[in-house]
Amino acid sequence: MIPPADSLLKYDTPVLVSRNTEKRSPKARPLKVSPQQPGPSGPVPQPPKTKLPSTSCVPDPTKQAEEILNAILPPREWVEDTQLWIQQVSSTPSTRMDVVHLQEQLDLKLQQRQARETGICPVRRELYSQCFDELIREVTINCAERGLLLLRVRDEIRMTIAAYQTLYESSVAFGMRKALQAEQGKSDMERKIAELETEKRDLERQANEQKAKCEATEKREIERRLVEEKKHNEEIQFLKRTNQQLKAQLEGIIAPKK
């Protein structure tokens, strides 16, 4: 028989329930059967109920504790060769040596499975969860009310961790979406930058052409102005000479008359 994975939670000896593969609910009422070798097929019948005296109406504390224990820590089941095996948690009270041994086993398994000392570690979480379940089992045997209260604490812790895990997964998904959007936006910005650089080069080329045209126009205007000034100066000189000649002729005509 191949038993399930080893756990810090203390279990009783596995018992054969049936030879079929019918699955039972983990929270179903446990079958009161004794350990036996594989026998004929079919479920093992329960012993007939005997009529108890009137004092039996008082609930048995041991039986009640076992039922609460099985409800808190359901038995584990597995199928091997079409045979259904079940293993319930142990209802044996623990001693101080059992607690010391539990601590030693916890430290040993943490070392063997190379659990991280800090940070998020699924291995360390699993081992401490098993250790906490074992402590719940030990406390429940002595006091069912304390066990139920510890069960509430355990469920609250698991619910909180599940909430943080969901929040972490949603934040990772949000980060991935933002990263993809940023990557897509990056490609769009790179394309836009390339377009703007091309437009910039075109505008620079047009500006250089306009600047060259402006310089050529200024050069032509300067040359034209120089030519106009030269022509204007020549005309002035010509008019001055003409004026002087006319003045000299006029003086020559007026002088003999006197």
What are the tens digits of pLDDT across the range 51-76? 434 444 445 666 777 788 788 888 88
The tokens describing 124, both together, are 């360390």
Of 24-38, 109-123, 207-221, the poorest mean pLDDT is in: 24-38
The tokens describing 31, both together, are 């079958």
Q: For residues 152 and 140, give the distance between their C-alpha atoms in angstroms, rounded to a whole number.
A: 13
Confidence of residue 258 (pLDDT cuts 50, 70, 90): low
Q: What is the pLDDT of residue 206?
A: 94
Q: For residues 153 and 147, give the distance between their C-alpha atoms in angstroms, rounded to a whole number.
A: 10
When pLDDT is averaged across residues 36-41 and rounded to a whole number, the result is 37
* Cα angle: 125, vertex 131, 135; to 5 degrees: 140
CB 142 within 8 A of CB 93: yes
When pLDDT is averaged across residues 112-119 and rounded to a whole number, the result is 87
Position 151 pLDDT exceeds 80: yes
* Type of residue numbered 212: A
Burial per residue of 145-161, b for 16 or more beta-carbon CB atoms within 10 angstroms, e otherwise:
eebbebbeebeeeeeee
Q: What is the pLDDT of residue 81?
A: 79
Q: For residues 30 and 73, give the distance between their C-alpha atoms in angstroms, rounded to a whole number.
A: 12
What average pLDDT is seen over the chain? 79
* Type of residue numbered 142: N
The tokens describing 82, both together, are 């079409």
